[in-house]
Structure 1
Amino acid sequence: MLSVQNLTGGYAAHQPVIHDVSLEVRPFEIVGLIGLNGAGKSTTIKQILGLLVPQKGTVTLDGKLLSEDPFFFRSKMAFIPELPHFYEELTLWEHLELTARAYRLPREVFQERAEHLLETFRLKKAANWFPNTFSKGMQQKIMILCALLVQPSYLIVDEPFVGLDPLAIQALLKMLKDGKERGMGILMSTHILEMAEKYCDRFVILHDGRVKLRGTLAEMRRETGDPDASLEELFIQVVKG
């Protein structure tokens, strides 16, 4: 289980962005991290990944802190960022090769998975192209392919659908669903609430850096006393107070 307990932190010690955030991601589930721009979603994700050091609280993966066993922690997790980051001097295929080496994938496993992902996301002809020639959506697919290539135990996804065409969105959603069914635990930040309601098992709603509501849709409906509310309606209730 990925466990975040009482996490407080941000970019400056005197001005934390998130306050006492707690959440859990278990195998075989997708947890939706929901909030307005500036609510603290990306900050929470950066704390989980170890890109920011918490001022208070802990992040554990299967009971271990990042500081206790960095290799174990990082080898179990992959990340799809909101904005693509890539090496201009490497082709798409070389990005996949680099990822496979970092995660120590056997060559035959890498080859099979890479070919399947290129086919699924319609990038086979672009395998030996350089990403600075790609459209924004194609660049985002590099991040998606690299993360899915390793089939991690835990996948962190930050606004993955930005810039993707409908076929790519459909392919990614199927991959996320298949990953969950294989036992992957997924934390997904998204603004597309209708999609989140359909695909996520539980939700964490952040507002002003604090968890305001959490649980399954049924649990949140009971807590708010609104038995028929959609996720979007619950979210609007929270942000409007």
Structure 2
Amino acid sequence: MDSNVLLEVAIQEAGYEPGIAKLHNINISVKRGKLTGLLGPNGAGKSTALKGILGLLPFAKMTVDYGGASDKYAYVPEHPVFYETLTLWEHLSLAAAVYDMDENEFEELGRALLEKFRMTEVRDHLPESFSKGMRQKMMLMLGFLVKPDVYIVDEPFIGLDPRATKDFLELLEEERGRGAGVLMSTHVLDTAEKICDDFILISAGKVVASGTIDDIREVASLPEGSLFDCFDVLT
């Protein structure tokens, strides 16, 4: 594997039961310091592909190879998952323990993330009382806490207000700067066009175009088209 590739995925076919494949011949490559956008209409197979990468599909003929120093990754789900009896800080502390973080490092980074996402005042509150946006912020904080080689992010912008979106994008840029790779599924095409290095467009479980924005435009026969225009034509 190329030393710049942190995640290489080759899906021959995959789905939720044998004989009924939802995905066919999908290849995904996430490079060091790069952000790859996984795009497609509802039902195209984006979430199924992410579940396959995470090993959560009951039926999958595929390979998942991690490059870099380790196979440490962070998954930020579309729908926040949390323990009802643990506070925000206790969630962060649990994640730090799982990844065997140094206590002083955790305290410093944990406090910085609370400040960055403006959640310091609710650090000792239960997430059950949080709004959807606040719960999404918690998921992002858990991901950024562990400093993984690869981020796998599913629809991160849902529920985030403009300021939280800006904070998220700034942290993501910092992580890419240190060499982390990102695979992000999103419907927010105008933002994706601005921040992604390359794209994988899928429709009906198959790749219809992949590469840079210029590659996507070429396949769509829209030399000056926006990502939205190309998406509309190809999917």
2:106 to 110, 126, 129: 110
- Contact 1:206-1:213 within 8 A present in 2 as well: yes
Higher mean displacement: 219-228 or 124-133: 219-228
Question: What does 1:194-209 correspond to in 2, within 5 Å?
Answer: 194-209=190-205
1:12 correspondence with 2:8: no
Gaps of 5+ in 1: 65-71
2:163 aligned residue = 167
Superposed CA deviations along residues 172-224 of structure 1, whole A, max 9, x for unmatched, are: 01111111111110000000000000000000001000011000011222333
1:23 correspondence with 2:28: yes
Higher mean displacement: 217-226 or 230-239: 217-226
TM-score by length of 1: 0.92
Q: What letter is aligned with 2:95?
A: T
Q: Equivalent residue of 1:178, what SS?
A: helix
Higher mean displacement: 190-199 or 46-55: 46-55
Once residues 209 and 100 of structure 1 are traced to their aligned partners in structure 2, the CA distance between those partners, rounded to angstroms, is: 36
Gaps of 5+ in 2: 1-5
Once residues 50 and 90 of structure 1 are traced to their aligned partners in structure 2, the CA distance between those partners, rounded to angstroms, is: 26
1:228 correspondence with 2:224: yes
CA drift of 1:59 comes to 1.0
Q: What letter is aligned with 1:190?
A: T
Q: How many residues align?
A: 230
Once residues 151 and 187 of structure 1 are traced to their aligned partners in structure 2, the CA distance between those partners, rounded to angstroms, is: 15
| Distance change >3 Å, CA 133–CA 139, structure 1 → 2 | same
TM-score by length of 2: 0.94
1:133 correspondence with 2:138: no
2:44 to 39, 59, 70: 39
Q: What letter is aligned with 1:83?
A: H
